């Protein structure tokens, strides 16, 4: 991922550059709308196959309306995402294509741009919450699970075998041999679909509140004939009392604790459902619990905005705590300890500036 943050001026006010910062930020926000459209329509993928092109050729290749493609190209040209010449021919530079096309899922930044229009769709609901409190349920977020699965496809799937699982001592041997694995808040279940195919001797269970996400996961498991994988629609809010005791050797959560209704109950349930020598791998957002320590976080404004527009309201809508995306390491360690875990190691991975990886055992 890119490692740059929009730097706020030290002080705000006339003559301190805030006006320039504002222009950069509003142009950036506008470009994210265009980049999201470029991703969804496949325009970047088509453009990367061409050299210099006019809007007519590109629109024909992508099967899209020429007038819209032309205006899209002009927005991206002024934003320096694509190049333009004096005859209105456009080109996507190779160095940009690398981050904007589906060629490499791991490096595809365009997909993250989709969070901006996604948040725009719930603005009215969120505005209402500013006046009356409460939250916004998952079903009010069109395409959330689709975009989330693309996101975790890049951060989790691509790195699972090479970087993520090796963080957990001995887990690959155990998975090869045959163990029981639970992924809680699995969404569309992409991590499980991959693990179930890689480790046929192990058995895998995915649970999630969303019938849409679980429906997708079940269809995909069937398509891939994965008999060692089961998905269940299940609300984890009372997992502390409903979790099957000492049932699993390995529990994972990928970006799925902070937006739960009752994160502590979920963590207590994970402790309860793990065997005494079981291991819990928690991927969650990298941050401090204290905003003043997050001022140089490379994705701070984006993640606090996603928190305000999604992670906090979906939890509050379930009568939950609304921890927020940036609950941070301090709070996470406090809740994990309260849930009964004594051994907590936190890791970072080079490819992933967004997340921390917690390797947790009971003893």
Structure tokens at 303: 């993640």
**Which listed range, 90-98, 123-131, 257-265, 331-339, lies at the site for ligand SAM (CB under 6 A)?**
257-265
Work out whether 138 is an interface residue with ligand SAM (CB under 6 A): yes
Residue with tokens 């690959």: 172
Q: How long is the chain?
A: 363
Work out whether 256 is an interface residue with ligand SAM (CB under 6 A): yes
3-state secondary structure of 199: coil
Work out whether 280 is an interface residue with ligand SAM (CB under 6 A): no
Exposure string over 91-111, b if 16+ CB within 10 A, otherwise e: bbeeebbebbbeeeeebbebb
Work out whether 352 is an interface residue with ligand SAM (CB under 6 A): no
CA distance 345 to 79: 42
Structure tokens at 346: 């936190």
Helices and strands (DSSP H and E) totals, the chain: 16, 9
Footprint on residues 169-188 left by ligand SAM (CB under 6 A): 185-187
**Which listed range, 30-38, 67-75, 104-112, 207-215, lies at the site for ligand SAM (CB under 6 A)?**
207-215
Shortest Å, Cβ 123 to ligand SAM = 20
Evaluate whether 227 touches 203 at the Cβ level (below 8 Å): no
Work out whether 260 is an interface residue with ligand SAM (CB under 6 A): yes
Work out whether 334 is an interface residue with ligand SAM (CB under 6 A): no
**Which listed range, 15-23, 45-53, 121-129, 248-256, lies at the site for ligand SAM (CB under 6 A)?**
248-256
CA distance readout (Å), 172 to 112, 122, 134, 164, 247: 30, 41, 43, 11, 19
Helix (H) or strand (E) holding 178: none
Q: Pattern 213-242, binding to ligand SAM, x per CB under 6 A?
A: x---------------------xxx-----
Q: Which residues bind ligand SAM (CB under 6 A)?
A: 138, 148-149, 152, 185-187, 208-210, 213, 235-237, 254-256, 259-261, 318
């Amino acid at each position: 991922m890119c490692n740059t943050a929009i730097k706020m001026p030290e002080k705000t006010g006339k003559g301190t550059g805030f006006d320039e910062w504002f222009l950069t930020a509003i142009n950036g926000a506008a470009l994210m709308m265009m980049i999201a459209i470029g991703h969804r329509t496949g325009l970047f993928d088509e453009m990367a196959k061409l050299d210099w092109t006019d809007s007519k050729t590109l629109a024909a290749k992508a099967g899209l309306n020429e007038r819209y493609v032309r205006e899209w190209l002009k927005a991206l040209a002024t934003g320096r995402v694509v190049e333009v010449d004096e005859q209105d021919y456009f080109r996507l530079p190779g160095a940009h294509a690398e981050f904007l096309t589906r060629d490499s899922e791991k490096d595809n930044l365009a997909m993250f741009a989709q969070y901006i229009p996604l948040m725009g769709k719930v603005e009215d609901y969120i505005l209402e919450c500013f006046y009356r409190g409460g939250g916004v349920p998952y079903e009010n977020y069109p395409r959330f699970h689709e975009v989330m699965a693309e996101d975790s496809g890049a951060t989790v799937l691509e790195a699972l075998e090479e970087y993520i699982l090796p963080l957990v001592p001995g887990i690959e041997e155990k998975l090869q041999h045959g163990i029981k694995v639970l992924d809680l808040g699995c969404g569309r279940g992409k991590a499980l679909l991959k693990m179930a195919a890689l480790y046929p001797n192990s058995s895998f269970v995915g649970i999630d509140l969303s019938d849409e996400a679980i429906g997708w996961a079940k269809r995909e498991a069937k398509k891939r004939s994965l008999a060692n994988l089961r998905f269940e629609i299940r609300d984890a809010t009372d997992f502390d009392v409903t979790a099957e005791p000492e049932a699993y050797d390995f529990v994972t959560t990928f970006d799925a604790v902070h937006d739960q209704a009752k994160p502590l109950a979920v963590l207590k349930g994970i402790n309860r459902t793990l065997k005494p020598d079981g291991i819990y791998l928690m991927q969650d957002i990298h941050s401090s619990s204290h905003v003043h320590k997050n001022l140089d976080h490379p994705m701070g404004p984006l993640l606090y905005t996603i928190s305000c527009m999604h992670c906090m309201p979906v939890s509050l809508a379930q009568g939950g705590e609304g921890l927020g995306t940036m609950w941070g390491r301090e709070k996470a360690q406090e809740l994990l300890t309260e849930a009964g875990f004594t051994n907590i190691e936190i890791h970072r991975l080079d490819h992933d500036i967004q997340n921390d990886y917690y390797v947790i055992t009971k003893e």
